[in-house]
C-alpha cells in the first residue's frame, strides 16, 4: 500500500463509522451566571479566553513521553491533508468533513499537530516473512498480516481561535453532527467517498466536547474513524483516530482515551 493510500485510509477513512456525544464538564446546581458560563457564554466576571499563538500551542501539544507506549511525532507531508483538499456535498456537513480529515473547522488563529501511534503487541512482531507465510494456511496468513497492521494512528491537533471562536466552532460541530447523522458525500484530494453515518459517542473532556464514530465507504470498503473535539478556553483539541486492522476485520475500536486525557491535562 502506498504512503498516499495509507494516509487517506488513516486520516479520512476509507471507511468510518462515527459516534458523537457531547458532555459539558460540571455538575450539581448552578446559578444563572454559572449556567451561562457552562454554555460558553460570557459574564461581566468571566475574562475572555486567551488566543494562543503557534509557539504557545507547540508547548502544550502532546509530546514524546506524555503517553505511555505511544510514539508521538510531528506529521510528515504524506500524513496530512492540505487546506482546501476536502469538500462535501452538503454545506451543513462541512465542519464534520474537515475534522474527520484532521483539518480545522472555522478559521483558527494558530494550529499545531502531532501524529500519535499505538502499536499492539502483535503488530510489534512485524510482517511475517515469505517463508513463514508459505507455511501458513490462507486464513492464518491473512490473520498474521492483519496482526502486523494492528496499529492505531491518531492525528492530534490544537487550534486556537479569537473572540469566542472556539465556542462557536464547537457549537457548529455539534449541530453539524446531528444534521449529518445520516451521512453525506465528500471528496478528499480528488477522490470521492461516502460518509455513511455520524453517530454520537459519550465523552467528557475539557470544558465542552463532541465525540463521534464516523462510518465511511470508499470503493466498496467500509470502516470507521473515531473523531473527538474538546474545548479548553479559546483552544480546541481535535483527534481523528483510525486502525486499519480493525477496519479490515470489521471490528470496533475504542476512542484514544489515553491520548485525549494526556492532551487535556496539558491544556489544564
State residue 144's pLDDT score.
78
State residue 45's pLDDT score.
52
Question: How many CB atoms sit inside 10 A of residue 251's CB?
Answer: 12
Please indicate, yes or no, if residue 181 is contained in any of the structural domains: yes
Please indicate, yes or no, if residue 68 is contained in any of the structural domains: yes
State residue 44's pLDDT score.
41
State residue 97's pLDDT score.
97
Residue listed under C-alpha cell 454520537: 200
Please indicate, yes or no, if residue 192 is contained in any of the structural domains: yes
> Is the pLDDT confidence value at 3 over 60?
no
All three cell numbers of 194: 461516502
**Cα–chain center distance at 217:** 17
Look up the CATH number of the domain holding residue 14: 3.40.1000.70
Strands 221-232 and 151-160: unpaired
CB 74 within 8 A of CB 264: no
Question: Which domain does 182 fall in, by range?
Answer: 3-37+49-267
pLDDT tens sequence across 175-191 = 999 999 999 999 999 99
Please indicate, yes or no, if residue 44 is contained in any of the structural domains: no
| Average pLDDT of the segment spanning 50-55 | 95
All three cell numbers of 235: 483552544
| Burial (0-12, 13-18, 19+ Cβ within 10 Å), 78 | exposed
Please indicate, yes or no, if residue 43 is contained in any of the structural domains: no
The structural domain count of the chain equals: 1
State residue 102's pLDDT score.
96
Please indicate, yes or no, if residue 138 is contained in any of the structural domains: yes
pLDDT tens sequence across 75-115 = 999 999 999 999 999 999 999 999 999 999 999 999 999 99
State residue 54's pLDDT score.
97
| Average pLDDT of the segment spanning 194-207 | 95
Residues paired with residue 115 on neighbouring β-strands, in sequence order: 73, 155
pLDDT tens sequence across 202-216 = 999 999 999 999 999
Amino acid at each position: 500500500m502506498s504512503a498516499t493510500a495509507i494516509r487517506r485510509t488513516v486520516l479520512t477513512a476509507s471507511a468510518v463509522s462515527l459516534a458523537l456525544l457531547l458532555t459539558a464538564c460540571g455538575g450539581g446546581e448552578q446559578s444563572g451566571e454559572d449556567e451561562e458560563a457552562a454554555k460558553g457564554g460570557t459574564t461581566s466576571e468571566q475574562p475572555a479566553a486567551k488566543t494562543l499563538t503557534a509557539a504557545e500551542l507547540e508547548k502544550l501539544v502532546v509530546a514524546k513521553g506524555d503517553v505511555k507506549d505511544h510514539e508521538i511525532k510531528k506529521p510528515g507531508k504524506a500524513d496530512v491533508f492540505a487546506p482546501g483538499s476536502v469538500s462535501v456535498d452538503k454545506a451543513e456537513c462541512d465542519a464534520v468533513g474537515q475534522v474527520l480529515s484532521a483539518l480545522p473547522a472555522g478559521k483558527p488563529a494558530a494550529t499545531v499537530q502531532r501524529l500519535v501511534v499505538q502499536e499492539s503487541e502483535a503488530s510489534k512482531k512485524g510482517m511475517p516473512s515469505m517463508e513463514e507465510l508459505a507455511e501458513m494456511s490462507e486464513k492464518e496468513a491473512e490473520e498474521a498480516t492483519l496482526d502486523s497492521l494492528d496499529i492505531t494512528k491518531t492525528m492530534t491537533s490544537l487550534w486556537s481561535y479569537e473572540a469566542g471562536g472556539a465556542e462557536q466552532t464547537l457549537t457548529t460541530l455539534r449541530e453539524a453532527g446531528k444534521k449529518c447523522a445520516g451521512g453525506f458525500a465528500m471528496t478528499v484530494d480528488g477522490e470521492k467517498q461516502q460518509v455513511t453515518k455520524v453517530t454520537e459517542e459519550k465523552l467528557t473532556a475539557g470544558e465542552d466536547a463532541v465525540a463521534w464514530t464516523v462510518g465511511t465507504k470508499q470503493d466498496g470498503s467500509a470502516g470507521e474513524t473515531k473523531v473527538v473535539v474538546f474545548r479548553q478556553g479559546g483552544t480546541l483539541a481535535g483527534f481523528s483516530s483510525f486502525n486499519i486492522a480493525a477496519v479490515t476485520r470489521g471490528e470496533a475500536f475504542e476512542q484514544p482515551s489515553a491520548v485525549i486525557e494526556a492532551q487535556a491535562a496539558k491544556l489544564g
